[in-house]
Amino acid sequence: MAAEAPFPTPSLPDGLREAILGWYDARGRSLPFRGTTDPYAVLVSEVMAQQTQISRVAPAWSAFMTTFPTISSLAAASPADVLRAWRGMGYNRRALNLWRAARVVVEEHGGRLPEDIATLEHLPGIGPYTARAVAAIAFGSAVGAVDTNVRRVLGRAVGGAIDAYSTRELQRLADAAVPAGRPAEWTHALMDVGATFCRTTRPLCAECPALVWCRYATSGSVEAGPPGARRPASKARFTASSRWLRGRILDRLREAAGHDWVRVDTPVGSHDQAAVDEALRMMSSEGLLELDSIDPRRARLPLA
């Protein structure tokens, strides 16, 4: 049976790359972690940026790097110390995975973050996007890091719609789009265009540097009107979530002196004791805390 012919790689319209890079050079966001190509520092910033607004990442990254300036210092820390340093960022499993990745790098790679994408992806908590972002920004590899922002920008500009390409096709397009000698700037530029103009709903096409070359913007299907305000999440709904409960439990443990045990034996917010007990069990199974073997309502941040 004949092998299936490979599908052609879509390509950027002439001028699009230069327009986006030109805008980025003049008006791209100035962020503290964009001033470094240290692989460890880049990795920390990329892990922090997962599911978190960049405005919160910038000060948190600076504080974290002061506490753990090298990958070896992070690997040598206790998970309790790392979780304390992560306070305010949420999605705390990211902190543990970053710590676990640091230990693997020290134990198996001599303390140097590997350049190879496949090896990066084998580190705890590192997926295809993060591996490629580190490779492009820290090591200058001509690879495209594809997240939701990049999917929107390239999907709309080249294909006319966010879902114009399959995951495989989009990755080939992203890789082919990287300009020679500027993979880091290109990665940042696409992120900024996606976050600033190419929003999921009511994108600011008229102000976007890609306007002239964008198939979506010139298709006549762009939503009219000013960008709609996001409906704020209900505070009551958020405080009723397990994510909120888990965060409050961790905050109680972070406030304990040293590695003292804390008894979590009262309802937390609207969560009754049964919900609290279940959260403690789940967080223990995930390595986010330790439970006393005698009293399962006594907990502390993990020491190892």
Please list the active-site residues. 46
User: ∠ CA(300), CA(303), CA(304), 5° rounding?
Assistant: 135
Q: Which residues make Cβ contacts (< 8 Å) with residue 73, sequence separation at least 6? A: none
Q: At what angle do helices 128-139 and 39-49 cross, to 10 degrees?
A: 140
- From the list 240, 237, 252, 239, the residue with the least C-alpha distance to 283 is 252
